[in-house]
Structure 1
Amino acid sequence: MNLSPELVLLDQQFADETAAITAAGQLLVDYGYVEAGYIESMHERHALSTVYIGNDVAIPHGTEAAKSQVKKTGLSILQVPQGVTFGTEQARLVIGIAGVGDEHLELLSNIAVICSDEENVNRIVAATSKEEIIALLTAEV
């Protein structure tokens, strides 16, 4: 999994899940991973089924119908130490996902394994540099 430091934002705060999903999507747009319309599909996906996966982690990603708007596979990572509400849960780590073909399935799997350990999530949320977050998310699982 190749992660870019410019797609990692430290110490973020959001009023609500809508703002967090938009920010995760906008990073992917800004760096050429997806077309602007992909952000709306990220909101649609969350409306269909929450993108909160437990252990303080949310993984907003687009719908199947929005696949054509993905230019290349990538992740945006938002560290939100104070948390942002997703339904009745608090997410301290928001990871936006864009995948070409089925590449996103491997990304989802890696994230799920790493973030299934609450200690890993705590380390990512406490990280003080983008490089530290990337190292934690790309560690061998």
Structure 2
Amino acid sequence: MPVLALEQITTSPTATTKEEAIQEAADMLVAAGAVTPDYADAMREREASVSTYMGNLLAIPHGTNESKDSILDSGLSVARYETPLDWDGNPVKFVIGIAGKDGGHLEILSKIAIVFADEDEVAKLEAAPDAAAILELLGDVNE
């Protein structure tokens, strides 16, 4: 199973708050078969202890180390928001939910970080017309 598939990307998410966005990310990971529904609680716990805001319009909510049992397979969810969300006072347009099986999230995280460290790449992601175009820009996570 690829870490990121087309149906795990949305350009029309409905969340308007950080809390709703975390739930939305968790729901997409559940739908992908990557996590069990209680993973959302672990994502909220993680967020309460340390913000997952990464800079350059990106937040990467993920579970706690104790939530390993909720992870069925490595997976990502990607939501692009037209109107930036307030993430602890920071503007966020991209919320990437992440679940890494057996420590696999570190490699996935580094690949995402490389893309989002490049402002030109972030601009391309912002301008991408649809989910397929976003998948093409983030496709390296599947390798």
Give the TM-score taking structure 1 as reference length: 0.94
Deviation at 1:62, TM superposition (A): 0.3
* 2:101 corresponds to: 100
Say yes or no: does 1:23 pair with 2:29: no
Paired AA for residue 101 in structure 2: V
Unmatched segments (≥5 aa) in structure 2: none
Of the structure 1 ranges 121-130 and 87-96, higher mean CA displacement relative to structure 2 is found in 121-130
Q: Distance in 2 between matches of 1:77 and 1:7?
A: 6
Deviation at 1:137, TM superposition (A): 1.0
Paired AA for residue 114 in structure 1: V
Deviation at 1:2, TM superposition (A): 3.8
* 1:80 corresponds to: 81
Q: Give the secondary structure class of the aligned counterpart of 2:101.
A: coil
* 1:135 corresponds to: 136
Q: Give the secondary structure class of the aligned counterpart of 1:91.
A: strand
Q: 1:2 to 1:66 in 2, by over 3 A?
A: closer
Q: Give the secondary structure class of the aligned counterpart of 2:81.
A: strand
Q: 1:62 to 1:20 in 2, by over 3 A?
A: same
Q: Distance in 1 between matches of 2:13 and 2:28?
A: 13
Q: Does the 8 Å CA contact 1:81/1:126 hold for their aligned counterparts?
A: no
Q: Distance in 2 between matches of 1:30 and 1:77?
A: 13
Unmatched segments (≥5 aa) in structure 1: none
Q: Give the secondary structure class of the aligned counterpart of 2:37.
A: coil
Deviation at 1:81, TM superposition (A): 2.1
Q: Does the 8 Å CA contact 2:58/2:116 hold for their aligned counterparts?
A: yes
Paired AA for residue 56 in structure 2: N
Paired AA for residue 64 in structure 2: T
Q: Distance in 2 between matches of 1:52 and 1:78?
A: 14
The superposition leaves residues 62-92 of structure 1 with CA deviations (integer Å, 9 ceiling, x where unpaired) of: 0000011100001000011211110010110
Q: Give every structure 1 segment of 4 or more consecutive aligned residues whose post-TM-superposition deviation is greater than 4 Å.
A: none
Q: Once the two structures are aligned, what percentage of the paired residues are identical?
A: 34
Paired AA for residue 119 in structure 1: D
RMSD: 1.4
Give the TM-score taking structure 2 as reference length: 0.93
